[in-house]
């Protein structure tokens, strides 16, 4: 799924130089083709930071086109898709262990 302008994204990494932490949410304001201008704001709507991010630095959590939050399974799938095969296998093994623990 290609991110779109006005989608809400969640940061996947800390960016200490910009005072941004993994998990913070921002809004895509511009699509540059290979990067996206994302605005992070505080609870009052004041801009904390605006910067261009690569798609592997965030995951879409809310789609403007559908006006809906993405299911957690879609968010996880988008993150796992970015991983190399050996890491994907580790995620699969971890998921299997969670299923076994819940039984």
pLDDT in tens, 22-52: 999 999 999 999 999 999 999 999 999 999 9
What pLDDT is attached to residue 92? 95
Question: How does residue 1 score in pLDDT terms, banded at 50, 70 and 90?
Answer: confident
Between 93 and 1, the more confident residue is: 93
pLDDT higher than threshold 90 for residue 6: yes
Long-range pairs of 23-31 with CB within 8 A, sequence gap ≥ 24:
25/61, 26/58, 28/3, 28/4, 29/5, 30/5, 31/3, 31/4, 31/5
CB 53 within 8 A of CB 38: yes
Cα→Cα distances 4→21, 82, 103, Å: 22, 18, 39
- CA 57 to chain CA centroid, Å, is 7
pLDDT higher than threshold 90 for residue 21: yes
């Amino acid at each position: 799924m290609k991110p779109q302008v006005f989608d809400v994204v969640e940061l996947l990494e800390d960016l200490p130089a910009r005072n941004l932490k993994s998990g913070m949410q921002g809004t895509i304001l511009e699509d540059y083709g290979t990067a996206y201008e994302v605005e992070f704001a505080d609870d009052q709507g004041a801009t904390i930071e605006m910067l261009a991010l690569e798609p592997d630095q965030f995951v879409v959590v809310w789609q403007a086109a559908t006006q809906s939050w993405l299911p957690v399974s879609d968010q996880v799938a988008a993150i796992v898709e970015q991983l190399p095969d050996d890491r994907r296998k580790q995620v699969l093994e971890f998921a299997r262990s969670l299923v076994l623990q819940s039984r």
